[in-house]
């Protein structure tokens, strides 16, 4: 069955590595046209060449991007829309996982994490909805995290806080956009064995990137309001994670 045109043109940020790179591979195999954004242009170029070698009929446009620069985000999204003849889905994925406990000389890394993950998500959502609102169509996807459900300590402290902010941002946008034809999805992956997560102290029930990405892409295609992926175990764990006392949660998750 041919793909619906309105979800054919997909922009992914943070596409040079990790989940962003894997999502690009999945959608390329499905014949989607892609706009790939990241800071590392050399990695984007390698990925483009790989994707076109497998699926030469698609269009892949590349856009160097630091998501903390709102003017650069606006320009990259506008350029991507011009390159693909419009955008149908934007995946807010770019993120970092640096930093540590507050007050222990990790302020610079914590600030970078906050600016990239949350302020960068605001910039991306603004730019995407500037395109989607006039069209009355589009799908805005936020890649959040299971860590958004609870505050976490140590190296996860600021990271989990930023992801909680991303999830709240998605819900607020969904409320604003009700009835407009623009869909909003927040995806909450569990632990995934990527280089970004390599310093997390406890990788409970971690998935390999391929399995996690299959679950993310499948969830995105359904366009739910919220998804916990992979569903086993994370859809089952979501409510217990919210309800367990902090002291017990700390012993389990850190």
Token pair of 165 as six digits: 């902010």
Q: What is the pLDDT of residues 5-25, one digit of tens each?
A: 468 999 999 999 999 999 999
Residue 84: pLDDT band (50, 70, 90) is very high
For residue 76, the model assigns a pLDDT of: 98
Q: Of 179, 185, 81, which is closest to residue 130 (Cα–Cα)?
A: 81
Q: Which of these, 81, 9, 78, 21, lies nearest to 45 by C-alpha position?
A: 21
- Would the pLDDT of 3 be above 50? no
Q: Which of 148, 136, 128, 216 is nearest to 178 (CA)?
A: 136
Kindly report, residue by residue over 197-240, the tens digit of the pLDDT: 555 555 565 566 788 899 999 999 999 999 998 777 767 766 77
Closest CA to 35 of 55, 67, 72, 60: 60
pTM > 0.85: yes
Quickly state the pLDDT bin for 183 (edges 50, 70, 90).
very high
Contacts (Cβ under 8 Å, ≥6 apart) of 36:
11, 12, 15, 16, 20, 24, 44, 47, 48, 60, 61, 62, 63
φ, ψ dihedrals at 186, nearest 5° = -110, 120
Could you give all domains of the chain from N- to C-terminal order, each with its CATH number? 5-253 (3.40.50.720)
| Active centre residues (catalytic) | 159
């Amino acid at each position: 069955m041919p793909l619906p045109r309105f979800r054919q043109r997909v922009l992914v940020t943070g596409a040079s590595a990790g989940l962003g790179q894997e999502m690009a591979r999945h959608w390329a195999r499905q014949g989607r046209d892609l706009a790939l954004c990241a800071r590392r242009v050399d990695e984007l170029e390698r990925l483009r060449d790989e994707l076109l070698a497998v699926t030469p009929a698609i269009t892949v446009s590349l856009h160097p991007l630091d998501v903390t620069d709102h003017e650069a985000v606006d320009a990259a999204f506008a350029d991507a829309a011009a390159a693909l003849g419009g955008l149908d889905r934007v995946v807010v994925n770019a993120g970092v996982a640096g930093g540590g406990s507050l007050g222990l000389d990790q302020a610079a890394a914590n600030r970078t994490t906050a600016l990239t993950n949350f302020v960068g998500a605001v910039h991306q959502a603004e730019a995407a909805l500037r395109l989607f609102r006039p069209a009355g169509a589009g799908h805005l996807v936020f890649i959040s995290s299971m860590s958004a459900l609870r505050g976490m300590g140590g190296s996860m402290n600021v990271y989990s806080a930023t992801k909680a902010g991303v999830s709240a941002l998605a819900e607020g946008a969904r409320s604003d956009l009700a009835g407009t034809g623009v869909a909003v999805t927040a995806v909450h992956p569990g632990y995934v064995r990527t280089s970004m997560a390599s310093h997390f102290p406890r990788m409970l029930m971690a998935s390999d990137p391929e399995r996690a990405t299959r679950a993310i892409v499948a969830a995105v295609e359904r366009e739910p309001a919220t998804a916990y992926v992979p569903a086993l175990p994370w859809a089952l764990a979501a409510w217990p994670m919210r309800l367990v006392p902090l002291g017990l949660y700390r012993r389990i998750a850190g």
